[in-house]
Structure formats: C-alpha cells, structure tokens
Structure 1
C-alpha cells in the first residue's frame, strides 16, 4: 500500500506538471490571439485546468488513504509477526488462520508416572496459548476493521474519480445552477444565503460557476478553503498574463508578485480576496490560518498608503506576530478556562482603494500624486466607497464559520479606522464583537445635534458595538490622531476603553516598547535581535484573543 501510494504521487505530480504547462501555453497564445475562437479556446483551457485540478486533488486523496491505512495496517501486521516470530518462537505452539492457538501436549509415562507435574505443565502451556490467542484474535479483528475502513475510504474517493472518468467535462449541473450559468438567475447576494447554497454544490458545479465568474473566490460567504482555492487559480492566471505583457493586468504585476510572495512566505495563509479590476488599485485579503475553524478572527484595515504591493507582506507579518502572542497567551490559561488552546486568525484586508501619496512633502514641491493623496485623505469619499465592501466581508466571515460562534474583532488604523467606522454603521449587517482603532482621525459618526455639534456628542450607538467592547489607542506624538478630521478622536467618545501605548511591562512579564508616531502601533521593535510587539501590539493581541482583562489601560 505504501509503495503504491508513493508511485501514485509521482505519477500525479507528472500529470499536474503537464496540466500547468498546458495552461501556460494557452496563456501565452492568448497574448497574441484575439476573437471568438481565442475566447472559446481560453474557456476550454480553463475548464480542462479545473477538471485536471480536481482529478489531481482526488488522486492525492486516494494516495493519502493508502498511506494512512498502510501505516496503520502495517503496525498491526508488525505486532502480529512479533508475537508469532519472536514471542512464540520455539514454543511448539501452532496457530490456525482464525488465530486459534494450540499448545503442545506434554508427554506422560505409559504407566502414568509424573502425571501431576505433567498436568501442571500442560495447564501453564494452555494458559500461555490462551493469552497469545486473545492478543492475536484482537489484532486480527483490528486488522479486519482497518481493512474495512480503508476500503470504504478508498472506494469513496474512487467513486469521485469515476465520475470524472465517465464524464471528462465533469458531472452535469442541476437546473438552478444551470440557470445561473445561462444568466437567467444569480447567486444569492447575502453572504449567509450564498454560503448555504454553496454548501449544496458538487465540485463540478463549483467549477462551472468559476468558469463563468473567475472572481467568484471574492464572494463573501464562500467557505475559506474555496475562496483560497479559486483566488489562487485566478492569481496564477493573472500572473502569467501580466508577465507576458497582457495590458489588462500588466500594470498590476508588482501587486500580483507581492501576493505570490506573501503566500509563499506564509504556507498556512489563505487568499480571501484577489482583485485587480474593480478599483484603481489592486485589492487583496490574506488570512493567517483558516478563519472558518478559528474561535477568534480579526479583520485589519490599513490607512494612508495602504496598498497590496507595498503593504500586504508587512501587514501579514505583523498579523502573525499578533497571532503568535495571542495563541501563546491562550495556551497558558487555566485548564478549566473554556478559551484554553483556542486559535486566532487575523486577516489583512486591503479590499478597497486607499489614499496614496507622501503627505509629508506638502510643504515642498507638490507633485500630482502628493496633491491627489492629500485631497483623498482629508475627505471620506474613499472610506465611504470601501465601507460596504468591508461590512460585507465581516458578514462573510460569520457566514462561512464552521459553527457560527466566531469572536470577530474589527481593527482599523488611521484612514482605515474611518472606513471601519463607516462599515460598522452599515444597516442590515451583522455587528462585530469588538472594535479596536488606533491612530484614528475619527470614525465619521454623525453628531446627535448636527446643527450644533458638541465634542464627544457623536452617536456611538450607530457602531452597533456595545460599551466596554470599543477600544482606542492614541500615541503621544501622533499628529493624525491628535488632530481628528472625521469627528472626534475616539478617546473623547463615551463607551471607549483607552489603552496604553507607551513603554510598559505587560502581564506576561515582558517590557515592551511604546508607540509614539502614527505608523508605530502595529509594528514590532527589535529586542535582543528578535522582533517584539510593542505595548500597543500586546493590547491588540489580547482583544483579538478575547482576553480583555489582560490589556494595559491608560
């Protein structure tokens, strides 16, 4: 079984390499071949690639079954042979095919001499035989059960393989799916309804929908594993086209390479969003782990100059530091604490265009980028455009979670906190459990009396996050946070808990550096050659982990 699995994997690797070569050849051809025939060829190539991937995944699954059960059955076999070839060797005992063990007969004299001692010896031998027999029969039963389980698991995967064998183009789709493919119907827009519908689909139906909409992995509500799978498919496609000069994506090549590198550097990451077409900038979201299975999930939104090519990798690195600190703290809880050992998955979300430009150059020669960036960052146009997307993403995290009990935290930095504030005010969306903002120029909340705005008199209830679950951090030298543009600084608003940003020895006994400037909050500092989160990072990690009693308050 193990040798067969090894050979199967080798053959499958060759198959995958040939499918990839086919895809690259078609992509190269598409750069110079246009028209209906080219579109049809491209569509057919995508279909073959998808079906090839499912074949490969199914074959890997079969190989895994042979490996898993081969090891298990091999262990049982070794235990049996150890009894037969070592423990029973030279004992004179015999074993039949059913595992019955017969002890040798002790000879007695013709005249019955030594009958007492012979009977005692025979009793001892029979007892040993009975013990061996019990162990052997148990192992034979265990082996038989293992064979049955292996046959069931392998047969199930072979059935899936057989479906593709019978119909190379995949199994037929149901009428409601076909209606979507024909443009007569649409996928549900609501993330929860979409998730429920998606869970009823076969792999062939999912692939067919991807062929129709290659950005389907960006739809909120899809399971994270499917979002990751289809977004990586699209990433590979666009990378090849961008590297071959396709004008539709060539200018996004640095963004695509940044996504590729981030995924390579983080093998456990999931690509939750990958979009080069809907905005002026590329968009992406990367989760450090699987948010559908984690008890605690956060969605982090960056601010000014947040973009995929320059920011995604560093955001994921910072998120990993938060994840590691949060999980290490959760792993040290008391044995009776229900949060002991829980997982934390932060998501770096750059799912909308953000202001770009070196605002520090305003007093120098102002180029177009700087002027545009300044204009964008002092108004909420971009924040309002991105807020519905962020709100929908929150809903998608809840909808796709395995049991719906996820503890969800919204984290917003700088202009990202403005977008976060607006997202939480979107009507008809599920609220988050906790809110953390730092370096915030305001949350764009309406005043209770718009005709006579008073400091601290904004409608914080519009955030739909209860008192005691809203947190803010403001560094002493943070000019952006201390000169709010979009309403009052959250530190002046009721129901917000103000967290420490200065140097502090946190509850884990570590002395941490402070966050002073606008960009400091999520960043690490080097301590003895190792990166370490600041006090602000500790506070973020504790809120994301659902451990508010561990934060350091001002």
Structure 2
C-alpha cells in the first residue's frame, strides 16, 4: 500500500505538470490569437485546468488513504510479528489462522521425580498461551477493522474518480446547484446564508459556479481561503488577457500587476477582492493573514487619491506594520490573559471608487483638478461605497470560525466618511470598534430631539457603543478641515480623542507625531510607527487602555 501510494503521487505530479504546461501553451497562443475563438479557447482551457486540479486532488486523497491505512496496518502487522517471531520464539507454541494459540504439552515422565510439578507447569504454559492468544486475536481484529475502514475510504475516493470517468467535464452537479447554473435561482446575497450554502458544496460544484461567475471570489460570506483561491485564478486570467490587449482589461494592467506584486511580497496575504469591471477604478482588498482564524480583524478604508496601482502595496505594508505591533502588544500581556496568544489580521480595502486629484487648497483648482475637487466635496462616492463596505464587514463575520471575533472598522480621509456611512447602514451587523482619522466628517444626521435652536450630530446612529468610537486629527491636516460632511469627529461628543503628537509609548519607544494628512499610518523618521500608528495598533488589537488619549 505504501509503495503504491508513492507511485501514485509520482504519476499525479506528472499529470499536474502536464496541466500546467497546457495552461502555459494556451497563454502563449493568446499572444497572437485574438477574437471570440481565442476567448472561447481560453475559457475552455480554464475549465480543463479546474477539472484537472480537482482530479489531481482526488488522486492525492486516494494516495493519502493508502499511506494512512497502509502505515496503520503496517504497525499492527509489526506488533503481531513481534509476538510471533520474538516473544513466542522457541516456546513450542503453535498458532492457528484465527489466532488460537496451543501450548505444548508437558511430556509424561516415567519416574516420580516431576509428577507433582507437572500440572503446575502445564497450567503456566496454558496461561501464557491464553495471554498470547488474547493479544493476537485483538490485533487480528484491529487489522480486520483497519482493512474494512481502508476499503470504505478508498472505495469512496475511487467512486469520485469513477464519476470523472463517466462525466469527463467534472463530477456530478446536484439539482440545487444546477438551478443556479441554469439561471433558475441565484446564490444568496446575504453573507451568512451564502456561507451556510457554500459549506454544503463539493469542490466540483464550487468550480462550476466559478465558471459561471468568475468574480465569485468577491462574494461576501465565502471563506477567506476560497475567496483568495478564486480571486487569484481570476487575477492570473486578467493579467494574461490584459497583456494580450483585451479591451475589457488592457487599461487595468498596471493595477493587476500591482496586486500580483503585493501578493508575491506577502506570502501570507489573501486576496479578498479583485474587481476590474464594476467601477471606473480597479478594486482590491488584501488581508495580511487569514481573517477567518484571527481573533482580531480590522478593515482599513483609505481616501483621497488612493488607487490600486499606486497605493495597494503601501497600504499592505502599513497594515503589516500595524499587525506586527498589535501582535507584539498582545504577546506582552500577562500569562493567563485570554488575549495573550491572539492574532490580528488587517485588511486593506480599496473596494470602491475614490476621489482623485490635487484638490487642496482650492486656490490651486484648475481644469485638471476640478473633477477631483468636485468628487472630494461630494459624498456620492462615499454613499456608493458604503453598502459594499458594510456587506464586506458582514462577510468577514459570516466566514469567521468564531462568532466572538473582534472587528474594527478603520477609515482614513474620505474613507472615514465611507466608513462612517457604512456603519450607519441598517440591516447589517455592527462592528465592535470604530476608528477614524484625518476625517472630513461622517455625514451624521442631527438628533431628532434636542434643545430648541440647537443641533447635535447623532453619534448613536453609528451603531457603535460609547467607549468604542475613536478618532485622530493631526494639527496640520488640511483635509480634516474640510467642512463638507458635518463636524470633524474631533469636536464630537461620544468619541475618544487619541493623541497624534510625539509621545513615548508603553514599550519605551519615542514615537514621532503625525501632523499632515498622509502621516497617520506611516513610520516616522526613526523607522517606527508614529504615535498615531501605535494608537491604530492598540485599538485593532482590542487594547484601548494602551492607546494614548489626548
């Protein structure tokens, strides 16, 4: 069994190499072949790759079964042979095929010298035989049970292989999934319902759904590993098509390459969102680690002038620095503290179009910057992005392994406006903490009941409780001075106001201050996160008492 498993793995590796070679050959052909036929061939090649991958996975499963059960049966066999060939050697005992052990008979003695001890000697030999027999029969039963379990497990995997033989395009699809593929029904839009359905699907059914909707990985509620898998598949496809001049994506090549470069630099990153079609900009979200298994997850929404090609790498680098500091602070907690071994995973989210252009100060507005200036003083983009961001929060919750996860919504600049609008959305699960910085306002409605002639923004509309709303505003932050979207959170009651100036934090580091609009998440001149970065790390780690308050 073990030799067969090793040979099967070798043959499977050869098969996988052929599938990869096929994919490369098709990609190379696309360099010269254009048009509808080329697109159809590319799609067919992707389908073959997906089916080939699942076929290879099934073969690996078969090999694993042979390895697991072969090793287990081998251990049982070794134990049997040890009894027979070592312990019972030269004992004169014999063993039947069913494990019955026969002790030798003490020979009759013609004299009277041993007559008194003969019964006792025979009793001792019979007792030894009985002990051997019990052990041998137990091991034979164990071996038989192992063979039965192995046969059942291997037969199930062979049935899957048989299904591929009967239906070369893949394993059978159940009727409820086929109805989705045929357009009779749709996948749930509610992240929790989608996650529950997804857990019932086979790999072949998941791939069939991906073939129908190659942006499947963007659906909120899918497990992070599956979002990452399908989004990477689509990323590879779009890079190839963009390089070959496909008009749908050729102008997005720089964005796509920026996503790929970011993933290559961060081996533990997960691609939670990859979308070149729904907006004017390319959208992407990258998690620094697996958010489904982290006790603390934070979603970071950026603002003005953010693009995937120019900003994603920097955002992920900044998020990685915050993660490192957050986990360091968690590790410093006293032994026995339940948070000591927790992980924090930040997600850099560029999931909606954002204003672009040199929009400050207004005296510099001209024909090249007017569009961005109009966008940045208008909340339309923020309102368009807020439902997407709220749904993303719900998806993170739905796919997480533990409902007690601590989720922080973080927004910078125009992204703080979008974040503020996202947490105000009705019908969504609330986040645990809200942190905004460099904010031009949160578009809060006024309280309906207040003193006559006095208006006050309704911070309760954020659906985040007192003690869990935080803000930072640098002294020279020009964007935070824009009055377009209500009062800056630095003036609002119900927010904890955090320090942005220089400060020596609890770890003994003298941290630089954050003054201008871009400074908050960036390292200072000493190569360390600024005071604002320390505050971000402590809030997303669920350690607000370590944050530096004003």
State the TM-score, normalizing by the size of structure 2: 0.83
Distance in 1, Cα, partners of 2:84 & 2:530? 63
Q: Deviations over 1:237-268 (max 9, x none)?
A: 11111122222212211211122222222222
Distance in 2, Cα, partners of 1:343 & 1:61? 31
What is the SS of the residue equivalent to 1:524? Answer: coil
Partner of 1:250: 250
Q: Deviations over 1:411-443 (max 9, x none)?
A: 111111111011112222222111111221211
Partner of 1:378: 377
Partner of 2:348: 348
Partner of 1:319: 319
Conservation of the 8 A alpha-carbon contact between 2:505 and 2:511: no
Distance in 2, Cα, partners of 1:450 & 1:334? 46
Q: Deviations over 1:245-298 (max 9, x none)?
A: 222212211211122222222222221111111111111111222222333221
Asked which structure has the greater CA Rg, the reply is 2
Cα 1:252–1:164, aligned 2, differ >3 Å: closer, same or farther?
A: same
Distance in 1, Cα, partners of 2:540 & 2:320? 12
Distance in 2, Cα, partners of 1:329 & 1:100? 64
Are 1:493 and 2:492 an aligned pair?
yes
Partner of 2:178: 178
Conservation of the 8 A alpha-carbon contact between 2:99 and 2:136: yes
Aligned residues: 548
Distance in 1, Cα, partners of 2:78 & 2:396? 47
Are 1:411 and 2:410 an aligned pair?
yes
Distance in 2, Cα, partners of 1:72 & 1:131? 23
Structure 1 residue corresponding to 2:537, chosen from 528, 537, 541: 541
Conservation of the 8 A alpha-carbon contact between 2:512 and 2:524: no
Conservation of the 8 A alpha-carbon contact between 1:270 and 1:289: yes
Distance in 2, Cα, partners of 1:31 & 1:401? 41
What is the SS of the residue equivalent to 1:408? Answer: strand
Conservation of the 8 A alpha-carbon contact between 2:412 and 2:436: yes
Unaligned runs of 5+ in 1: none
What is the SS of the residue equivalent to 2:238? Answer: helix
Partner of 1:444: 443
Structure 1, 409-418 or 282-291: larger mean CA deviation: 282-291
Conservation of the 8 A alpha-carbon contact between 2:407 and 2:433: yes
State the TM-score, normalizing by the size of structure 1: 0.82
Cα 1:546–1:150, aligned 2, differ >3 Å: closer, same or farther?
A: farther
The Cα of 1:348 is off from its aligned counterpart by 1.2
The Cα of 1:115 is off from its aligned counterpart by 12
Distance in 1, Cα, partners of 2:492 & 2:99? 78
Partner of 2:549: 553
Are 1:460 and 2:459 an aligned pair?
yes
Partner of 2:300: 300
The Cα of 1:180 is off from its aligned counterpart by 2.8
What is the SS of the residue equivalent to 1:533? Answer: coil
Conservation of the 8 A alpha-carbon contact between 2:471 and 2:489: yes
Cα 1:311–1:147, aligned 2, differ >3 Å: closer, same or farther?
A: farther
What is the SS of the residue equivalent to 1:299? Answer: strand
What is the SS of the residue equivalent to 2:260? Answer: helix
Cα 1:205–1:123, aligned 2, differ >3 Å: closer, same or farther?
A: same
Are 1:217 and 2:217 an aligned pair?
yes
Conservation of the 8 A alpha-carbon contact between 1:319 and 1:348: yes
Cα 1:311–1:101, aligned 2, differ >3 Å: closer, same or farther?
A: farther
Structure 1, 392-401 or 76-85: larger mean CA deviation: 76-85
What is the SS of the residue equivalent to 2:485? Answer: coil
Cα 1:106–1:41, aligned 2, differ >3 Å: closer, same or farther?
A: same
Partner of 2:514: 516
Distance in 2, Cα, partners of 1:288 & 1:177? 32
Distance in 2, Cα, partners of 1:335 & 1:131? 49
What is the SS of the residue equivalent to 2:292? Answer: coil
Partner of 2:60: 60
Structure 1, 540-549 or 63-72: larger mean CA deviation: 63-72
The Cα of 1:521 is off from its aligned counterpart by 2.0
The Cα of 1:496 is off from its aligned counterpart by 1.0
Q: How does 1:19-168 map to 2 (within 5 A)?
A: 19-27=19-27, 29=29, 40-66=40-66, 153-168=153-168
The Cα of 1:186 is off from its aligned counterpart by 2.5
Distance in 1, Cα, partners of 2:330 & 2:131? 47
Q: Deviations over 1:37-73 (max 9, x none)?
A: 5555444333222211211233334444555566667
Distance in 2, Cα, partners of 1:415 & 1:425? 16
Partner of 1:434: 433
Distance in 2, Cα, partners of 1:71 & 1:455? 78
Distance in 1, Cα, partners of 2:433 & 2:213? 34
Partner of 2:288: 288
Conservation of the 8 A alpha-carbon contact between 2:160 and 2:171: no
